[in-house]
Structure 1
Amino acid sequence: MRLKPVAVLLVLGVATATLPGCGGAADERPPVATAATATAPAPPTGTPGARSGLGGPGKSASPKPSASAGALLKAGNPNGGAAVPAEARAVDTSRPTRTVGTGTPASCTSDAVVRAVAAGGIITFDCGPDPVTIKMKATAKVRNKVGARIVLDGGGKVTLSGGGERRILYMNTCDAAQNFTTPHCQNQDHPQLIVQNLTFADGNSTGERTEGGGGGAIFVRGGRVKVVNSRFTGNRCDRTGPDLGGAALRVLSQYDNKPVYVVNSTFTGGVCANGAALSSIGVSWTVLNSVFTGNKAVGNGANPAKAGTPGGGSGGAIYCDGNDFTVRIAGTRIENNHANEGGGAIFFVSNDRTGTMKIESSTLRRNPSDGFETEGLPGIFFLGARPPAVTSSRLS
């Protein structure tokens, strides 16, 4: 492996990223909690039982946006061609548990969204025939006891906006304020959060410190999360820091290391210290038929932070750190992203060198890394079990 000369020693010394235990104090680099050592209150009576799988379409296929609505929400790579497994597809929302709005734009309010997310279930929107933007006055937070699955389906016409002031959506099984539901919050299969046919715009988690921050539009720890046919634009998180990230989506502690599915979705204009679209620690990803463009990792000093710097600047589009995890990217375009340090497109560091990555039928181009990248992999910095498997793809 040949690295560009800048910060070579820094990146080879990437520190093992760690996460806080259930209910423990959180800062940017708290100690690891494992199933054997985590301490959490006993789960309340009536805790939901174990559940498996995010699920795919039911007997009645999830209704797609109408032709007119579909033209309004243009998400993903229509020429991607990667097969989408049932578990990764949109779910059936033809029989919603609750609906935000009563048929007019004025009825679709931030308060209505916050209440619906707190109540859980399958959530759809009735805001009238035209596209609507709902400016969030507060972050919508999942309450962990509301059930196995929380689904938000915007029907292709709804934008949830943070207004450049706040994070839009939050789920954390290890946050006591949202209720503990098992004694092992860092590895439980519920709740399962699914967002589909939605736009998330101008979310901003700058200054958030819970679990180390990040997640300008959506922050998730625990359970599982899936994103389908959605668009993320202009989201933000802190501009400096060695390990925080995810201007669009920050994910930690997914159940049994099952993958986060990102399908037919688009990420543009994100800005963060690292991972200006997606960011995670110890989490696996499957990204299918999606687009990443114009995202910027603006930190400086890499990880661990070079002396005299605040750290960060890696993973213009995607930042993945931790130990044993996998990343699969198929049918996807990653172009015109930028990193001040390493991996203008993708930063992938498996600290124990067990992690693996596959890139299939994808295009990665014009993703400059100002500091360092791996020889033969333009726009990528990679440390893992073996070189990434790259098939039918263009990297330039």
Structure 2
Amino acid sequence: MKSAAVLAALTVAVTALPACGASEPTTAPAPAARTSGAADTPATADPTDAPAARAGLGGPGRSASPKPPVGAAPKAGNPNGGATVPAEARAVETSKPTRTIGTGTPASCTSEAVVKAVAAGGIITFDCGPAPVTIAMKATAKVRNANGPKVVLDGGGRVTLSGQGQRRILYMNTCDGAQGWTTSHCQNQDHPQLTVQNLTFVEGNSTGEKAEGGGGGAIFVRGGRFKVVNSTFARNRCDRIGPDLGGAAVRVLSQYENKPVYVVNSTFTGGSCSNGGALSSIGVSWVVLNSVLRDNEAIGTGANPAKAGTPGGGSGGAIYCDGNEFTVRLAGTIIENNDANEGGGAVFFVSNNRTGTMTIERSTLRRNPSGQFETRGYPGIFFLGARNPTVSGSTLR
């Protein structure tokens, strides 16, 4: 058992996540904007290699997830994006899995099997037969913090996990004692490293989930590292009202040393939440490459902090980012037809201490209405940071 001193330190760490957005205005400021064709994009920091994995838990899996069959649904993301994907952001090799869900038939691929495999960790693949399969999740799959350090869930392009409109699908939280504490600094540790790839997440719903502020209809992550590769998110939900909470598809907090969440070759559509109809975070950096965010909505009312007499929310139709020092880079990405009741129909970005930066490269942002406010010269974006967003080779309209 841990000593009382260590447990006390962990308790402090859990409660140390800062409240964000207190300085967020609810009317449109008008910083001097440059044209969307500005070509002075600053260099981004080179990512560092993830630590080497330990041997996986349990025996070897059956096989790698099969390749998508001929005639399968179109691949996720923007195939014409053209952004270079760094090694750290690419799909994880899964030819020698730690464990495999299923024994070759759809019936063998169950919610219980997914929950058990995710808890055990390691590199996880599926063997559900030759045809695409949807697994109706009866419970949220939760990562156990000691089982890794890598946890990879690879659907092989054939597997859909459905929350049935009733529950969150996947959960990882290094500061949740119920999942096991593995360090004395849960808010800043490099593991587990969770990757979801070649999967589809549909109808996740975290409505009513209050831990860590809620949000994350399909996936909630706090701590460690997280990335999404070649995956699709559709019709996910989180609470309809409230300031700060968000991420109908994905909500992320406290990434190790503020290393970015990578979202690569992925699609987010039909998400609905108070804020962040697709992605949401506090104090987290993002790199979104060759992806598509379309037809998502932020439906809260009253912005953040909430106006008197309102419940708050309604910002970031596709992406909602709040906190202090963090960055957002969009490259080769399409963000279109998203909507925010308040600010940032495409992207809402508030760096409270004005150190955060945003870069948009070879991307298209179009038809993303902001109901009440956005930054002049940047259609669909509300931005407060170190300087105006840097835009190159992109269309904003």
Q: Would you say the 8 A contact 1:275–1:319 is kept in 2?
A: yes
| Per-residue deviation, residues 113-147 of structure 1 (Å, max 9, x unmatched) | 00000000000000000000000000000000112
Structure 1 equivalent of residue 147 of structure 2: 146
Q: List per-residue Cα deviations over 1:193-229 (Å, max 9, x = no partner).
A: 0000000000000000010000000000000001000
Distance 1:227 1:158, change over 3 A: same
Structure 1 residues 286 and 89: alpha-carbon distance in aligned structure 2, compared to 1, 3 A threshold: same
SS at match of 2:302: coil
Q: How far apart are the structure 2 equivalents of 1:278 and 1:171?
A: 16
Question: What is the Cα deviation at residue 71 of structure 1?
Answer: 3.3
Give the TM-score normalised by structure 2: 0.85
Q: 1:320 to 1:166 in 2, by over 3 A?
A: same
Partner of 2:174: 173
Residue 55 of structure 1 and its aligned partner are, at CA, apart by: 8.1
Q: Does the CA-based 8 Å contact 1:23-1:176 persist in structure 2?
A: no
Quote the offset at 1:240 in angstroms: 0.4
Q: 1:390 aligned to 2:394? A: no
Partner of 1:10: none
Cα deviation code 1:217-260 (max 9, x no counterpart): 00000000010000000000000011000000000000000000
Residue 74 of structure 1 and its aligned partner are, at CA, apart by 2.4
Shift of the alpha carbon at 1:53?
1.4
Calculate the aligned-residue CA RMSD, in Å: 2.1
Partners of 1:173 and 1:222 within 8 A in 2: yes
User: For residues 266-318 of structure 1, what are the alpha-carbon distances to aligned partners after superposition, in whole Å with 9 as ceiling and x for unaligned?
Assistant: 00000000001000000000000000000000000000000000000000000
**Cα distance between partner residues in 1 of 2:232 and 2:128:** 19
1:4-153 matches, within 5 Å, as 22-23=10-11, 32=17, 53=50, 66=67, 68=69, 71-153=72-154
Q: Indicate conservation of the 8 Å contact 1:159/1:199, yes or no.
A: yes
Contact 1:55 1:87 in 2 (8 A): no
User: Partner of 2:185 in structure 1?
Assistant: 184
State the partner residue of 1:42: none
- The aligned residue for residue 233 of structure 2 is 232
SS in structure 1 opposite 2:72?
A: helix
Aligned-residue offset at 1:67: 5.5
2:368 alignment counterpart: 367
Instruction: Determine the C-alpha separation between the residues in 2 that align with 1:341 and 1:70.
Output: 41
Distance 1:129 1:226 in 2: 27
**In 2, Cα distance between equivalents of 1:163 and 1:73:** 23
- Distance in 2, matches of 1:156 and 1:381, equals 35
> Which one-letter code corresponds to 2:110 in the other structure?
T
SS at match of 1:79: coil
- For residue 332 of structure 2, what is the aligned residue in structure 1? 331
Q: Within 2, Cα distance between the matches of 1:96 and 1:332?
A: 31
- The answer to whether the 8 Å contact 2:65/2:155 transfers is no
The AA in structure 2 aligned to 1:160 is: L
What is the letter of the counterpart of residue 282 of structure 1?
Answer: G
Paired with 2:65 and 2:266, the residues of 1 have a C-alpha distance of 15
Q: 2:70 and 2:300 mapped to 1: Cα distance? A: 37
Distance 2:259 2:332 in 1: 20
What SS does the aligned partner of 1:225 have? strand
Shift in Å at residue 23 of structure 1? 3.9
Residues 13 and 187, structure 2, Cα contact 8 Å, conserved in 1: no
How many angstroms does 1:185 deviate by? 0.2
Q: Which residue of 2 aligns with 1:274?
A: 275
Q: Is the 8 A contact 2:68 2:156 kept in 1?
A: no
Partner of 1:258: 259
> For residues 176 and 73 of structure 1, do their structure 2 counterparts lie closer, same or farther at Cα, with a shift above 3 Å needed?
farther
Secondary structure, in 3 states, of the residue corresponding to 1:68?
A: coil
Alignment check: 8 A CA contact 2:102 2:113 kept: yes
Answer yes or no: is the 8 Å Cα contact 1:363–1:393 preserved in 2. yes
The answer to whether the 8 A contact 2:69-2:130 is kept is no
Report the CA distance shift for 1:328/1:54 in structure 2 as closer, same or farther (over 3 A).
farther
Tell whether the 8 Å contact from 1:118 to 1:141 is kept in structure 2 after alignment: yes
Residue 142 of structure 1 aligns to which amino acid in structure 2? V
CA distance in 1, matches of 2:384, 2:70: 42
Q: For the structure 1 residues 82 and 70, does the alpha-carbon distance in structure 2 shift closer, same or farther, using more than 3 Å as the test?
A: farther
Distance 2:175 2:325 in 1: 21
Whole-angstrom distance in 2 between the partners of 1:80 and 1:201: 24
In the other structure, the counterpart of 1:46 is none
Are positions 1:201 and 2:202 aligned together? yes
Deviation at 1:69, TM superposition (A): 5.7
DSSP-derived class of the 1:71 partner:
coil
Q: CA 1:23 to 1:164, structure 2 compared with 1: closer, same or farther past 3 Å?
A: farther
TM-score for both structures, normalised by structure 1:
0.86
Q: Which runs of 5+ in 1 are unaligned?
A: 1-20, 34-50, 57-61
Equivalent-residue separation in structure 2 for 1:25 and 1:167 (angstroms): 24
How many angstroms does 1:352 deviate by? 0.1
SS at match of 1:115: helix
The alignment status of 1:296 with 2:293, answered yes or no, reads no
Identity of aligned residues (%): 76
Matching residue's letter, 2:112: D
Match of 1:47 in 2: none
